[in-house]
Structure 1
């Protein structure tokens, strides 16, 4: 039997902090992305009897007290083959604004009782996590004693709860400056396509954590009251289903990181144009009726082309830079053009040109992590030139934070965002400090304690992506400016690459 304790000070009223935990976004927002996934979200928030089921052992979602132990357990489990261990927890105590508790009812630990308590402190709230636990049976830890397993488990818990503290503090600060639609700061209703993807899942959770209502657009029969059916392939979306919406966010689009065969290229283009056109036309109709006022659509920095500039220190690209002439540039240009109906109808339309999103749960970082953990990671060089390509990265939390910032528009009176005004038009969604590829490789290697000096042979990306895909993706060089996003008042959580990587890697 062991006890783990962790304290977090939050400069917000106790009732406000506790209310955040009661909202549906809490589970995903407190999730370390480095292991596990939610099979079943809490059935009734943090109320007594609410249950959740988590699978540990694969990148995905872990979160509140219901799954912190699952996250901590994952590093202790042999990783080849990667197991899927089910974890079921149930809330067993609840005192409004003061305490809630969850307990493991099925899972690999001997036992687990997690008490979350909240008390007033000068200038804010002191939150205390107290966990009584027993390590799994020794058979789960070949070559280790139960005592050493307990020490390793406690070390993993400290990492998990440091992550949770950072997430909670940053989310509460964001909501304090983004209370909703002015002047009353009322909660909004927001429809999101692609809400189950890596970005969409976290964006939905962040918005719900602020008290807003999210309507996920789904291509199957709706399984929950807030889900809305749509089918871009047939142009099916009933505008009546979105009458209550203040904003629509479009994240839908098939995966780009594939070999650029003719069929794949057609799928990449069609999946973006059909959905964007349908949503933009629907938003336009509703804007004309006084409903939807904001339309935010994804795009990418591929808009500028794979190699928009040359030289060791090119000027950062701003939103008025011309489009490139390769395949992805053509896709992004057409993608953005498809938003035109919403803009013409008077909806504030924002086109988010997203950079290299950093998360161990997906995207480029998840793809290259196996190389680095094996000790064979390193920088890429542009074939034929030896150029050290620029990487315009952004953390996952800043990606969803900027989307939420674009949706919510003006923020709390007196905040920088209120002074900067609401975003509109194209917006570069990148971090403020892009880096050359060699710096990216060294930084990732340092965070992982792995070598990262030997350049990756060009044959590797070409084998996986083909010549065109490798040229447009792996060997692209884009130094992109975040000045418009910052001028609107958005405050980055992770300005430095190393900080972003340390946040999402164990």
Structure 2
């Protein structure tokens, strides 16, 4: 029994094979809805191994077969037993995956997957659909950057282990860039450098072309005095110190995370652009100060981009990770009357915004990183339920989030309403991978696009 799937991607043969051979490829191709996570990536397609964490403390070990390695045409991996945790999968399941690549013409490559396994093909169709789309979209993004003059660069990233940072680091690595992870612990790999947020080492950014600053304590939680301090302290002083170091080092660009919380927790139906005034609330004050903390870099003439991020969609983290199990059980529903606006963005579209900030020299200042089609909470609820083929019949009363988050947390997080438009990205004719919510959720959850009409 076996499975064979293929797809033609618009990129030359060598470019496609090189993408697979670089660090981050496995992470970029791993469907986010599957209950597994990458522990160790293969360091070679010839004879390396990848290790995945499975539920229940089990492991999946994929060992590459040197006999099948024929660059740029083929490599193969098969399930193996390497330790007790990998024995159940390695013994119980036959799996050999041959990856083949054929040049269709100078600018197109056929990617062929042949899998020898008893697993039915239907069970893996969504996985291969996801992989082919990720591959094509990532290659297209890197081609756009190259056409605009972005060379292979060394990029320092803070918060590289988080939801956005891990996806962004994998994306950049597969594009041929060198990612330097700025970490607070003792470095464990050559790609890590120790970063003291209060007093960064003067040589921290040596050899670095650009900085992407993502680090900051999660805003999710009850807004106690300690939580508010953690949110503030993890953003303001560290950003100011890193921006000052970037100014002294002379990097090409300083790209800092920001948030649409800048616009306040409730602006009604007002369409909010980058030129809109700051709103009210604790998060609005924090974001304004956070953005101001990048001033040392801007004052030194470095191009600074502040990425005002909306509600990130990924089953690996954020609100979708929390809501998915509830909606899967049929326990989802709107919050309050459901009229509040939700300005969202798919994880890969957010990655593309950060990528664009590296290569688009015309982009500076604040940029709204949201999809061009915000939705009300009722629309979001209906779309997620339809994607999961479940009803959404259990509305959450307005006082519900306040019981968990407190009055301020509920007001600024759960029931916040911001109708934000990506004005600057639209003016730049930016390409969104999933501009509408239905297609975004379908891709992220491995489902067919659902209809929410009626």
Instruction: Return the TM-score normalized by structure 1.
Output: 0.83
* Equivalent residues of 1:180, 1:188 under 8 A apart: no
- In the alignment, the residues of structure 1 paired with residue 333 and residue 293 of structure 2 have an alpha-carbon distance, to the nearest angstrom, of 38
Pick from 331, 336, 340: which aligns with 1:389?
340
**So what's the TM-score if we normalise by structure 2?**
0.93
Give 1:327's match in structure 2, choosing from 277, 282, 286: 282
Structure 2 unmatched runs, 5+: 447-454
Contact 1:29 1:205 in 2 (8 A): yes
Distance in 2 between residues matched to 1:85 and 1:187, nearest whole Å = 37
Cα distance in 2 for partners of 1:112, 1:468 equals 51
TM-aligned CA distance change 1:283 to 1:87, over 3 Å:
same
What is the RMSD computed on CA atoms of the aligned residues? 1.5
Name the counterpart of 2:254: 295
**3-state SS in 1 of match to 2:211:** strand
Counterparts of 1:189-208 in structure 2 under 5 Å? 189-208=154-173
Q: Give the secondary-structure state (helix, strand or coil) at the position aligned to 1:125.
A: strand
The 8 Å contact of residues 338 and 376 in structure 2, kept in 1 or not, is answered as: no
2:112 to 102, 111, 128: 128
User: 2:350 is matched with which residue?
Assistant: 399
Query: What CA distance in whole angstroms lies between the structure 2 residues aligned with 1:10 and 1:181?
Result: 21
Show the 5 A alignment for 1:56-205: 56-57=54-55, 83-92=56-65, 93-106=68-81, 107=86, 108=89, 109-122=92-105, 124-134=108-118, 150-151=119-120, 154-179=121-146, 182=149, 185-205=150-170
Matched residue, 2:49 = 51
Aligned partner of residue 204 in structure 2, secondary structure: helix
How far apart are 1:453 and its partner, in Å?
Answer: 4.1
**Which residue in the other structure is 1:215 paired with?**
180
Deviations 1:62-115 (A, max 9, x none): xxxxxxxxxxxxxxxxxxxxx332111111031111000001112414221100
Aligned counterparts, 1:234-245, within 5 A: 235-245=198-208
Deviation at 1:172, TM superposition (A): 0.6
Q: Distance in 2 between matches of 1:466 and 1:315?
A: 26
Give the 3-state SS of the residue equivalent to 1:296 in structure 2.
Answer: strand
Distance (Å, rounded) in 1 between the aligned partners of 2:270 and 2:279: 16
Give how far 1:462 is off. 1.4
Structure 1 residue ranges (4+ consecutive) displaced by more than 6 angstroms after TM superposition: none
Find the aligned partners of 1:54 and 1:459 in 2 and give their Cα distance.
41
SS in 2 for 1:117: strand
How much has 1:181 moved relative to structure 2? 7.4
Unaligned stretches of 5+ in structure 1?
Answer: 58-82, 135-149, 411-421
2:371 maps to which residue? 431
Single out whichever of 9-18 and 122-131 deviates more from structure 2.
122-131
Corresponding residue for 2:2? Answer: 3
* Kept after mapping to 2: 8 A contact 1:180/1:186: no
Moved more, 371-380 or 246-255: 371-380
Residue 417 (structure 1) aligns with: none
Q: Is 2:20 aligned against 1:21?
A: yes
Give 3-state SS (helix, strand or coil) of 1:252's partner: coil
Tell me the CA shift for residue 274 of structure 1: 2.4
